[in-house]
Amino acid sequence: MLHFYKTPAVLKNISKSLIWNVLSNEKTIYLTFDDGPVPYLTEYIIETLNKYNAHATFFCVGDNIKKYPEVFKKAIEHGHGIGNHTFNHLKGWSSQNDKYMENIHKCQKIIEQNHTKVKKAIFRPPYGQITPRQIQLLKESYNLIMWDVLAYDFDKSHTAEKSLKKIIKATNSGSIVVFHDNYKAEKKLKYMLPKFLEHFKGLGFDFKNLMQCKFK
């Protein structure tokens, strides 16, 4: 299996409507966590971010918000951003457009029941799968957030040590980095996240919530 810790430029150029990096001259990194909220693991992440005075963005699965509203509220209370990751973690390429849209709106509804409504919500497609037509249907209502750096925290073919080295090398100012608050990723994430924060804090970087960004 090929690992793309750093998203290749050729992929980033496919669609101008997708956001892969934040254009920034500041030493800022945008951490994101997909698939939660889930008990213990999301809470562990929030506590770890707190220790480093770091903010991040959680791309939530609507069904998990429904199951674990208290965990979801904790992320909001600590000033983290909330993004939409569909209600049931659907694959864009194999979903019918109307079903896909419906599932995303269902997730957005549950987010907005617990969170202040924002002018333009943020969405990340599960597995990074999204068709040109789906982009067209979504881009008016959502900023479509992809990533610059993937932690491979869910992947057992690379050790946590190796993955950490790779993502440290791949990350720079304005990088959007993906981890997962998903139990499959728990072991590697718990090794990698504190060390990643420690490394970049030591270099004078800040970690911010994506919702504070102005996208075009």
Q: Report the interface residues with Zn ion, using CB under 5 A.
A: 34-35, 126
Residue whose entry in the numeric block shows the structure tokens 């109307």: 98
Q: How far is the CB of 70 from Zn ion (least distance, A)?
A: 21
Q: How far is the CB of 28 from Zn ion (least distance, A)?
A: 24
- Helices (H) and strands (E) in the chain — how many of each? 8, 9
Q: How far is the CB of 35 from Zn ion (least distance, A)?
A: 4
Q: How far is the CB of 202 from Zn ion (least distance, A)?
A: 30
Residue whose entry in the numeric block shows the structure tokens 């050790």: 159
Residue among 125, 156, 115, 109 at smallest CA distance from 34:
125
Residue closer to Zn ion (CB basis): 35 or 43: 35
Sign of torsion over alpha carbons 122, 125, 127, 133: negative
Alpha-carbon span 55 to 80, nearest angstrom = 6
Residue closer to Zn ion (CB basis): 131 or 173: 131
Q: Which residues contact 62 (CB under 8 A, 6 or more apart)?
A: 84, 85, 86, 87, 88, 103, 106, 107, 109, 110, 111
Residue closer to Zn ion (CB basis): 176 or 205: 176
Residue closer to Zn ion (CB basis): 85 or 200: 85
Q: How far is the CB of 136 from Zn ion (least distance, A)?
A: 22
Residue closer to Zn ion (CB basis): 35 or 148: 35
